[in-house]
Structure 1
Amino acid sequence: MESRTTLAQGREATYEVKESIRDMIRVQSAYQLPDEVFWDIFNRRVLMNERIDVDDYVLHSYGIKPSGQA
């Protein structure tokens, strides 16, 4: 029973990492971010695994809108 729980937790952690990396790829293609802003978001979203809305975070923390939007 314990190994099933551990396996499920491992799958959940893997999914969360994949989801956070997909967020970072999307952010990189949607925004023209300075390096320090990108790495701030990367640290929060990937390394600290904070479940943040990256679009909202970029807009409210840095006032940056996606490329092509005024």
Structure 2
Amino acid sequence: MSEEFVDPYPYPGSHVLRNLLDQRTAQGLAAAEYELTLGATSSVPRASRRSSTADSRNCGPGRTTNAALKHSGPSSADA
């Protein structure tokens, strides 16, 4: 039983793992990963830090923001 182990995960004769992009070199895989992640997000505009999304994301019928709770006084039900 002197069979040599053959790793099925990398491409034959390479250390690059098999991938859906069929990139067989480390440089090609790195370039494709960059384009799919960082390259794709570089064209997306960033949201402003002063967005009101955080204050309004939980507002809806029957919901109140934390800011509204801080400024409201006791309700008639509390008396």
TM-score by length of 2: 0.26
Structure number with larger C-alpha Rg: 2
TM-score by length of 1: 0.28
Higher RCO (CA-CA < 8 Å; seq separation 6+): 1
